[in-house]
Structure 1
Amino acid sequence: MASDLSPLWISLKTSLLATFITFFLGIVAAYWMLGYRGKAKSLVEGIFVAPLILPPTVVGFLLLIFFGKNGPVGKLMQPFDFSIVFTWYGAAIAATVVSFPLMYKTALGAFEQIDNNLLRVARTLGATESTIFWRISLPLALPGILAATTLAFARALGEFGATLMLAGNIPGQTQTIPMAIYFAVEAGAMDEAWFWSIVIMVISLSGIIAVNFWQESREKGRNRNRETRVRKQNTQAHESSFVPTISSSVRLSVDIAKTLPSFHLEVAFNSDEQPLGLLGGSGAGKSMILRCIAGIETPTRGRIVLNGKVLFDSEQRINLPSRDRRIGFLVQNYALFPHMTVAQNIAFGLPKGLSKGSIRVQVEEQLLAMQLQGLGDRYPHQLSGGQQQRVALARALASQPEALLLDEPFSALDTHLRSQLEQQMTETLADYNGVSLFVTHNMEEAYRVCPNLLVLEHGRTVQYGSKYEIFEHPRTMGVARITGCKNFSVAQFVRSGLIEASDWGCQIQIMEAIPDNITHVGIRAHHISFTNDPNQENTFPCWLASTSETPHRMTLFLKLHSAANNPQDYHLQAEVFKEKWATMKDQPFPWYLRLDLLQLILME
């Protein structure tokens, strides 16, 4: 054992000070770089991580030049008769510089792992950036930050080259454990070198083990709480649920354009208290519209007005931050704060300044309204997908939003649960007095939930109106496809009341006048009927090419006028219930199908 223990105290003193400094500097730098989008980002990043790449002696030499008596800092300190070089302060500075990159990079990785939807939703709930940092970002990144702190401490404790260059090897003043080991080996004192090596390994490994033990204990504690949780008795739900009070003159006006790499978004529409469905395929721009309204994305130009309040106006340079827009945003993965209980998640959306009693009452009202009684103390990972969705909806409504934005809220649910929650969502939106926009690519879902629809293709509005108008009279082939139509043909004018369906090889009578811009005709699969009378209008002989079965229906792929050569040789798809299929499948060919005049769709 070494007779002089001063290297231990000097190492602990310098490494703890260095860790304390890098803890704050590393977190601040990591959080700042997370949102920094300047042109100098690569340069700043390179400066931050340079001590991790450069040899320690080079780092020490640069520090010596910087803090030496002829350096910029050294000259500033000369009037005060103070020097950093060859003092334990120099050792602490060297340890700080070389340990900073580990703290910075690990903390940055911890912050980057946080789901951006959590931060976006928090902003729509009215949270300031400081609130988001202290209540969401920092708690979620804490395990990674603790790991970073441990690594920074171990690196500071083991620093040798930079410390030797700046602080030297002065026994009792600047000699740290790594230098004690080096000079013990140089002097042939192997027992002393072994002693200090074991000491530094024990200290370093103890810190890492302690952090791992804390993380394991934390997870076991959560599991134990989950297993031993005493469930509250369910109470009867009130007849009326808590619904924000919104002015009866609710109105949203959107007229925006945004240039994106894949397409150009340009839409204009108005919405009132009735839920408006945004229907379209993937990449149509549905979610981007919601993000622009919520303030998560900024349109290139345009104007957004909610209840007379301008949220965005490119000409007047108005762009309210998300927290000031009073928008409730329900994203696809629900974005519940994983470190908060159900009650805390809901309370996060409540207006600021409420007393604890008021918060508790309003949270209970939301739990009752969403049928979540007894679940207030649970964490999101302890809930089913349907329960998570209801918590997210309760949290959004608790913020008393003037507009509620729902971005494919059923996409992650199974069929049975989707049906149950869809019914509850429809009831909730019926009671909600604000504007509600519902994004989906599922036509049946849109039809059941929303009285009005806005159909999008490649960032443009192709049809806007009531769901009955859009499903019964789609204007374009794109709208017809989105609304479930499967049969299309190029249409050519023959004479008044008659068109040629060239893809089907037949002439079709129609009841309405033929507009000049009509290019296609279509009919839905379930509107095709079968008859035994071949002399009816729009009746044609057909042969079966192939079939496709669903639990309740059969899809028949039919070729007109002649037998099919292969399963892909067909003109039309028809859907029939299995009861109908059972009566017709053994009938001899040709069958006769009829295209009802009232069900034909003329499209641009």
Structure 2
Amino acid sequence: MPQDLSPLWISLKTSLLATFITFFIGIAAAYWMLGYRGKGKSLIEGLFVAPLILPPTVVGFILLVFFGKNGPAGKLMQAFDFSIVFTWYGAAIAATVVSFPLMYKTALGAFEQIDQNLLRVARTLSATESTIFWRISLPLALPGILAATTLAFARALGEFGATLMLAGNIPGQTQTIPMAIYFAVEAGAMDEAWFWAIAIMVISLSGIIAVNLWQELREKRGAGEQGGSGSLALSTQHSALSTQHPALSTQHSTSESGLLVDIEKILPGFHLKVAFAANDRPLGLLGGSGAGKSMILRCIAGIETPTKGRIVLNGRVLFDSQQGINIPSRDRRIGLLVQNYALFPNMTVTQNVAFGLPKGLSKLATKQQVAAQLIAVQLEGLGDRYPHQLSGGQQQRVALARALASQPEVLLLDEPFSALDTHLRSQLEQQMVTTLASYQGITLFVTHNMEEAYRVCTNLLVMEQGKAIQHGSKNDIFERPATVSVAQLTGCKNFSDAVIKTSQEVEAVDWGCRLRVIQPIPDQLSSLGIRAHQLIFTNDSSQDNTFPCWLVKTSETPHRMTLFLKLHSAHSNSNDYHLQAEVFKEKWATMKDQPLPWYVRLDPLRLILMEREFNE
């Protein structure tokens, strides 16, 4: 053991100071770069990580030039009779510069791993950026930041080249452990070199091992808690929120009530252009993946900015490209429920719901309102649990309670049942219908499931490739879809090109038959269709629109049979069919042994007459 232990104290002093400085600067730089979209981002990123790439002696030389007698910082400090060169401050600065890239890059990676939906939802709950940072981003990134801090400390402790250039090797003043090792080996004092080498390895590895053990214990604790929550019961009772939820603001007159959307959003390979109005009746946005449904919600919530257009809510202009108005998400009074629910994992159920409450409430009022919300969604007694301790259905109800707690004027539901199994989906769908019946605001419900849209919503907006192709009541859209695309989205499976023959007769070209129709024939008639469950099997071949048919093949579901039929003659192969018919298995049991041909009637009242697609 060497007589002089000053390298240990100097190393600890400079490394701890460097780590302290790097901790704050590194986190601030990482969080700032996370949201920075300026043109100079690549250059700034390069400057931040340069000390990690450049040789330490080069970094030390640059620092020496900067802080030296003739450098800009050196000249400034001369006025105060102060110098950085060849002092322990110089060693601390060198350690700070070389350890900063590790802190910055690791912290940036930790922030990037946070689900962006958490931050988006927080903004719709009126949270400021500082609140989001302190209550969501920082706590969730903390494991990564602790790892970054440990790495930065280890790097600062082991710094040699830059320190030698800027601070030199002055025993008792700037000689750190790496310096002591180098000069001990140079002098042939191998025992002393071994002592310092072991010391620095023990100090560095102890911190890294401690952080790893803490993370492992944290993960095991979380897994244990989650495993113990599998038996949580899901109540199937329904409870309306009308008696629990505070009344919505009525500051706007009836004539101004409602949501008006007229926007365009131009992206590479996608162009959203839509205009519609919504009132207090739930509006379903129905369409396939990539139709633009979720983008509409994001624009309304302020998460995305339309290229141009206007959004007005109850008389308040939320966005207007011509007037330069774009109200931040936190000020729009909009509740957002996303597919994965975006519950804050570092907060309990109570804290999640309270996050959505208006700011400034007393502790007692907050407690009462949270309790009321949890009772309304049948989660009383679970307020102290964390999201990972809840089932999928319970998480969805917490997210709904949190959204409604913010007293939104608009509730945006982005496929809220997509992550649930069939049984749970049905239960929560029923509760959602009950909740929306008592909700006094405007509801937009995004889904690609036609049956779900029909059960939950009163009105529908059908989307395709960024455009609204039909808007109206669900009954009108399902009974009289305007185009083949709309009919397909609403579940129709039988289509044929159509030609007008008389005022009450059309030819189904693909089916090889003429059909009498009752409803007025559109001037731009293009196609006709009929739903599979509306085909009628009959023994009376004299009725109008009745044709002989042969069974080509069948397809089975738990309760129904789909029959693939060919009209007029027997089929030649399994793909030679005209129509699909759906019948319950009880019906199938009575007809499957009957001799062919069967007779099928296409009821004139059930025929769907459709115009050309809007983009044709």
The question of a shared fold, defined as TM-score above 0.5 by the shorter chain, is answered with yes
Within the candidate set 311, 319, 329, 2:318 is matched to 311
1:132 aligns to 2:145 (yes or no): no
Q: What does the per-residue CA deviation read over 1:498-551, in whole Å, with 9 as the maximum and x for residues that have no partner?
A: 211111111111123322211000000001111112221111111111110011
Deviation at 1:214, TM superposition (A): 2.7
Which residue of 1 is the match for residue 274 of structure 2? Answer: 267
Which residue of 1 is the match for residue 192 of structure 2? Answer: 192
Superposed counterparts of 1:434-445, under 5 Å: 434-445=441-452
1:458 aligns to 2:458 (yes or no): no
Which residue of 2 is the match for residue 40 of structure 1? Answer: 40
Q: What does the per-residue CA deviation read over 1:153-191, in whole Å, with 9 as the maximum and x for residues that have no partner?
A: 000000001111111111111110011001111111110
Which residue of 2 is the match for residue 381 of structure 1? Answer: 388
Deviation at 1:495, TM superposition (A): 2.3
- Secondary structure of 1:343's counterpart equals helix
Q: Is the 8 A contact 1:241 1:366 kept in 2?
A: no
C-alpha RMSD of matched pairs (Å):
1.8
Which residue of 2 is the match for residue 392 of structure 1? Answer: 399
Which residue of 2 is the match for residue 143 of structure 1? Answer: 143
Superposed counterparts of 1:535-574, under 5 Å: 535-574=542-581
Q: Is the 8 A contact 2:522 2:610 kept in 1?
A: no
Deviation at 1:16, TM superposition (A): 0.5
Alpha-carbon distance between aligned partners in 1 of 2:77 and 2:454, rounded to the nearest angstrom: 75
Q: What does the per-residue CA deviation read over 1:434-485, in whole Å, with 9 as the maximum and x for residues that have no partner?
A: 0011110100000000111111111111111111111000001111000000
Which residue of 2 is the match for residue 478 of structure 1? Answer: 485
- Residue-pair matches, total: 601
Deviation at 1:263, TM superposition (A): 2.0
Superposed counterparts of 1:581-596, under 5 Å: 581-596=588-603
Which residue of 2 is the match for residue 175 of structure 1? Answer: 175
Q: Is the 8 A contact 1:243 1:431 kept in 2?
A: no
- Secondary structure of 1:80's counterpart equals coil
Alpha-carbon distance between aligned partners in 2 of 1:289 and 1:91, rounded to the nearest angstrom: 55
Which residue of 2 is the match for residue 91 of structure 1? Answer: 91
Which residues of structure 1 form unaligned runs of 5+?
none
Within the candidate set 424, 429, 440, 1:422 is matched to 429
Alpha-carbon distance between aligned partners in 1 of 2:520 and 2:409, rounded to the nearest angstrom: 44
Q: What does the per-residue CA deviation read over 1:298-334, in whole Å, with 9 as the maximum and x for residues that have no partner?
A: 1111111111111111111111000000000000000
Q: Is the 8 A contact 2:239 2:431 kept in 1?
A: no
1:603 aligns to 2:587 (yes or no): no
Alpha-carbon distance between aligned partners in 2 of 1:421 and 1:512, rounded to the nearest angstrom: 39
1:284 aligns to 2:291 (yes or no): yes
Q: What does the per-residue CA deviation read over 1:262-320, in whole Å, with 9 as the maximum and x for residues that have no partner?
A: 22111111111111111111111111111111000111111111111111111111110
Q: Is the 8 A contact 1:181 1:197 kept in 2?
A: yes
Superposed counterparts of 1:155-554, under 5 Å: 155-219=155-219, 241-246=243-248, 247=250, 249=254, 250-554=257-561
Q: Is the 8 A contact 1:244 1:433 kept in 2?
A: no
**TM, length-normalised to structure 2:** 0.95
Tell me which moved more, 139-148 or 509-518: 509-518
Tell me which moved more, 488-497 or 280-289: 488-497
- Secondary structure of 1:254's counterpart equals strand
1:17 aligns to 2:17 (yes or no): yes
Deviation at 1:215, TM superposition (A): 2.6
Alpha-carbon distance between aligned partners in 1 of 2:313 and 2:561, rounded to the nearest angstrom: 47
Q: Percent identity, please.
A: 79
Q: Is the 8 A contact 1:259 1:265 kept in 2?
A: yes
> What amino acid does structure 2 have at the position aligned with 1:292?
C
Which residue of 1 is the match for residue 614 of structure 2? Answer: none
- Secondary structure of 1:316's counterpart equals coil
Deviation at 1:218, TM superposition (A): 3.8
Q: Is the 8 A contact 2:238 2:431 kept in 1?
A: no
**TM, length-normalised to structure 1:** 0.97
Cα gap change, 1:359 to 1:582, in 2 (>3 Å): same
Which residue of 2 is the match for residue 109 of structure 1? Answer: 109
Which residue of 2 is the match for residue 58 of structure 1? Answer: 58
